[in-house]
Amino acid sequence: MTGDRFSVEGATAIVTGASSGIGRVVAEQFAADGADVVVCSREQENVDPVAEGIAESDRPGSALAVECDVTDRDAVVALVAATVEEFGGVDVLVNNAGASFMAGFDDISPNGWQRVLEINLTGTYHCTQAAGEHLKDGGGSVVNVASVAGQQGAPYMSHYGAAKAGVVNLTRSLAYEWAGDGVRVNCVAPGFVATPGLEAQMGISADEIAREDVERRVGTSEEIADVVQFLASPAASYLVGETVAAAGVPDVLESPDV
């Protein structure tokens, strides 16, 4: 196997939630590898610097910034149309847009519950369905970004955990449906990642993390981007419907007393 199998060179990729954190690094890494990327977020002013940074760098891939709220179906359809108009198609869709807040279950309002599900789960549905026709044209790849919270549960983030559990199940279910159309659907479930959001909440900066350390529970956006690129690349050709947990040192459950 050669390194080319891990490349996304020549692909056109849509990356949602790309104004910062994991989404931004995914877009930058794809462009560095020779992919054309469409980066989107809810505010144009937040995503323009990402595309401009790619254009001004020596990365071979091109970038297009599009304002898009993934909960707005019309905006998502426009996002896909802009991608096709600019680059001629869609080969990879990275559903990374997400949001949450911490609250006990009793304190989550119906509006708060609905909003978290709309962004994390319904947004993934909108983007995937809207891009489906183009992904099936020649065989594409969908990489959903879920969370270990969707696999293990998350106290004080039950709305987020439920939404991400839906993303994990959607990944598995859709993988069966679209495999016959040549589309691979997979998922990555990050644990704690040193994004600007985590730094604001917990004071943990990416600058404090050594990637060579194995015994740790906080990762970097680059490490998640590596998994996303692998899942999008030909190297993952036999992975269909899988969710890859990227969460550092695994939790160890104590054995019950006998």
Catalytic residue numbers read 160
For residues 61 and 40, give the distance between their C-alpha atoms in angstroms, rounded to a whole number.
16
For residues 14 and 127, give the distance between their C-alpha atoms in angstroms, rounded to a whole number.
9
For residues 108 and 197, give the distance between their C-alpha atoms in angstroms, rounded to a whole number.
20
Q: Which two tokens stand for residue 176?
A: 């069966």
Whether the CB-CB separation of 234 and 5 falls below 8 Å is answered with yes
For residues 214 and 76, give the distance between their C-alpha atoms in angstroms, rounded to a whole number.
39
Whether the CB-CB separation of 171 and 147 falls below 8 Å is answered with no
